[in-house]
Amino acid sequence: MKKQLHAYYSGRVQGVGFRFTAESVASGLRINGWVKNLYDGRVEIVAEAEEGLLKEFLQRLKEEFSRYIRDVQIDWKAAEGKLDGFSVEH
């Protein structure tokens, strides 16, 4: 079943390649969505795919950046189907 996740990562997650790694992992898994830095130092992600792929995506980010992530907030909901590809937003 396709789902959408909306995540906020906090910690030292800017300036460490987080957004570009997220884009690379998401593209490899064929996940649609976007990632961007927020002014308060967090990183925001919106992504849609099958739930299993999204969980793998989150796990890979956790493995790669565990030393930088202090906290993550994730909200799940049904996919809207409006996202195409995965991009780094500015």
Is 19 an active-site residue?
A: yes
Q: For residue 62, count other CB atoms closer than 10 A to its CB.
A: 12
Torsion of Cα atoms, 89 then 14 then 57 then 25, to 10°: 70
Q: Are 52 and 87 in contact, with CB atoms under 8 Å apart?
A: no
Is 37 an active-site residue?
A: yes
Choose among 22, 21, 43: nearest CA to 32.
22
Point out the catalytic residue in the list 19, 30, 60, 70: 19
Point out the catalytic residue in the list 30, 37, 42, 70: 37
Q: Hey, which residues are catalytic here?
A: 19, 37
